Structure 1
Amino acid sequence: MKLPLPATRDFIGRAVMTLYFTVCATLKAGAIVMALGDTGWTAARAIDVVADIAALGFLVLIVATTVARLPPVKTAQGVEPRVSALIGCFATVTLIAVPRVPILPQLQLVADLITIIGFTLCIWCLWWLGRSFSITAQARRLVTAGPYQIVRHPLYACETIVLLGILLRNPIWMTAAVCAIALAFQYRRLVNEEKVLRAAFPEYHEYAQRVPMFLPRFSGAALPASGPR
């Protein structure tokens, strides 16, 4: 059977992702509206709503960048990069089915604050990534400015912060297992993206030597970015 052209596959993938994240954003917005209508407000509940608003902002930005993303110049070949990307991206969706356990108000507050920080940083990273965003390992445009001059994959680092907040909010073995699976496949996704970016952009080698992959280098400041955004 003849496979669709790359442009057609990219359009189908973009349409499916746009629909999925639009549904997620709509559900999150509905939950926020319901929460705002609740009269029993406390400081902890207000912070919980702020965490949901930060998550909504991230979802809306994903929709916008998916719709407007650039065509890929190179895509990872084979099944494993696609499977790793899908599992890494969507594993946390299964946390909806995990029953929540009661926790101390102090722990909930810490979890919500970590989640807010994580989603806020994710929005910052995704804003800089812009039209280069994709789920699967693809090269569209090399981004080396903003958070990408601190580490090469800041969005993954910030999503890890969100996962920490989720784990603290529901600290049971099922949550920990899903978060571990998500992180493992996100790392594979990161490695596959590295291969594609190195193959697509000759200047990536110099960028990779100058900027660490995942953890910021605190021993010295990163050199100014010399590549395009």
Structure 2
Amino acid sequence: MKLPPPAMRDFVGRATMTLYFTVCATLKAATTVAGVSNSDWTVRWLVEIGANIAALGFMMLVVVTTVARLPPLKTAQGIEPRISALIGCLATVTLIAVPRVQVAPKLEIVADLITILGFVLCIWCLWRLGRSFSILAQARRLVTTGPYQFVRHPLYACEAIVLLGVILRNPTWSTVVVGAIVVAFQYRRIVNEERVLGAAFPEYEAYRRRIPMLVPSLSPVPGWRDEPSPPEVEAPR
């Protein structure tokens, strides 16, 4: 069976993800409006509304960057990178279906604050990534500035912070298992993306050697201030 041309596949993928995140953003907006109308004006309420607004902002930015993204220069081949990308991206949504358990009000506030921090950092990463954002392992541009000067995959790291907040908000075995699945497939996405980026951009290997994958280094990378910044080329996530 002959596959559609790359441009058509990219269009279909972009349209699908735009529709999906538009629906998610609409539902989140409805939840936020309903929450605002129930104005308790407590610290717990304010933090929860803040978490909803941060999540809504991230989803809206995903829609914008997906619509405006550049055509890919290179895409990971095979079925595994596609499955890993979809599961890593969408598995978190299944946490909505997990029954909620009662937790202490202070833990709820802490969990929501962690979620807010994660989403705010995600927005920073995604804003910097801009038109290079994608779900699949693809190479468009390679950005090495902003959060990408500290770690190679800051968006994944920040999404992990959001996931931690979600699990703390509903600490059950189901959420922990789903969280472990998300982390495992996100790691596979990183591996696939680094392979694609290395093949698309010769300068990526030097960048990979200098910059940590997910956790910023506490000490400056030797010589990083003395090296000229490479042209703005950018990792998908």
Q: Please, what TM-score do these two structures have when normalized by structure 1?
A: 0.98
Runs of 5+ unmatched residues, structure 1: none
Moved more, 72-81 or 40-49: 40-49
Find the counterpart in structure 2 of residue 202 from structure 1.
Answer: 202
1:76 aligns with 2:76: yes
Runs of 5+ unmatched residues, structure 2: none
Q: How far apart, CA to CA, are the structure 1 residues paired with 2:204 and 2:98? A: 40
Task: Summarize deviations over 1:24-63 as a string: whole Å, max 9, x none.
Answer: 0000001111111113231111100000000000000000
Count of residues in Structure 1 that have an aligned counterpart in Structure 2:
229
Q: How far apart, CA to CA, are the structure 2 residues paired with 1:182 and 1:157? A: 12
2:134 partner letter = S
2:103 partner letter = I
Find the counterpart in structure 2 of residue 59 from structure 1.
Answer: 59
Q: How far apart, CA to CA, are the structure 2 residues paired with 1:203 and 1:114? A: 35
Instruction: Output aligned runs, 1:2-151, within 5 Å.
Output: 2-151=2-151
1:195 partner letter = R
1:77 CA drift (Å): 0.2
Q: How far apart, CA to CA, are the structure 2 residues paired with 1:184 and 1:7? A: 30
Q: How far apart, CA to CA, are the structure 2 residues paired with 1:149 and 1:39? A: 41
Report if aligned partners of 2:211, 2:221 keep a CA contact under 8 Å in 1.
no
1:66 CA drift (Å): 0.1
Q: How far apart, CA to CA, are the structure 2 residues paired with 1:137 and 1:23? A: 23
1:226 partner letter = P
2:174 partner letter = M
Find the counterpart in structure 2 of residue 211 from structure 1.
Answer: 211
Find the counterpart in structure 2 of residue 228 from structure 1.
Answer: 232
1:214 CA drift (Å): 1.2
1:180 aligns with 2:180: yes
Task: Summarize deviations over 1:119-166 as a string: whole Å, max 9, x none.
Answer: 000000000000000000000001111000000000000000001100
2:19 partner letter = L
Q: Please, what TM-score do these two structures have when normalized by structure 2?
A: 0.94
Moved more, 195-204 or 35-44: 35-44
2:218 partner letter = F
Q: How far apart, CA to CA, are the structure 2 residues paired with 1:60 and 1:181? A: 25
Report if aligned partners of 2:210, 2:221 keep a CA contact under 8 Å in 1.
no
1:221 CA drift (Å): 5.4
1:171 CA drift (Å): 0.5
1:227 partner letter = P
1:217 CA drift (Å): 0.7
Find the counterpart in structure 1 of residue 161 from structure 2.
Answer: 161
